[in-house]
Chains A and B, each alone.
Chain A
């Protein structure tokens, strides 16, 4: 059974600091996704990581994938208040053209001025 674990689950940090969210998964999986969710809103896609060593960057967020360690990281550089949200990673097998995603529990990130 595929399990996805994120840590930390809660993160409170000050603006300007750097931090990393970790996502571990238990079995070999195709493609890892990172999503952002604002309170009361839907999920917004951030990154798709396709292969070992993949690195994607968008603004102050950078995601990487190590398939051998079954680990993805989401690194936040010089955090700003606008990045406060809940971040999810998700992986899963592809079956007949659909991807059965298993999500991590989410990391609730609060950035204080």
Chain B
């Protein structure tokens, strides 16, 4: 099992360009998440999808859109990139365990720089 995979690993954009970050999981999890990590601020939730067909905003959704393409895939789109969106982006997935734990499994991250 590959777990959670993300593409690309690195990306440099100019201000105003658009791009889509891809995420896929092979653990048959219902829930998927997108976070951004900035220095000194921990991870902040951008959007999440509790199940296929649903998406909801997290803490910092402005400037982003998401698509839950199917149960495996959850993409994050920047329509018009801004320097403030320079960050490391992590995708995660989770499923309720028998113990009532919703442990999230994280992908390797995408390092995005907007100039």
Interface residues of A (CB under 8 A from B): 4, 9, 31, 33, 41-43, 45, 48, 50, 88, 90, 94-106
Contact = CB atoms under 8 A, between A and B. Distances in A.
B100 A50 contact: yes
Contact of B99 (A9, A50, A96, A98): A50
Given A103-B42, A105-B41, A105-B42, A96 B101 contact: no
Interface in B26-62: 30-31, 33, 40-45, 48-51, 54, 56, 58-59
Given A97-B31, A98-B94, A100-B58, A31 B102 contact: yes
B45 to A, nearest CB: 6
A100 B48 contact: yes
Contacts of B33: 98, 101
A59 B28 CA distance: 31
28 contacts: A4-B42, A9-B40, A31-B101, A31-B102, A33-B103, A33-B104, A43-B43, A45-B105, A48-B101, A48-B103, A50-B99, A97-B31, A97-B50, A97-B51, A97-B96, A98-B31, A98-B49, A99-B31, A100-B48, A101-B43, A101-B45, A101-B104, A102-B45, A103-B42, A103-B44, A104-B42, A105-B41, A105-B42
Interface of B: 30-31, 33, 40-45, 48-51, 54, 56, 58-59, 90, 94, 96, 99-109
B42 A106 contact: yes
A100 to B, nearest CB: 6
Contact of B50 (A31, A98, A102): A98
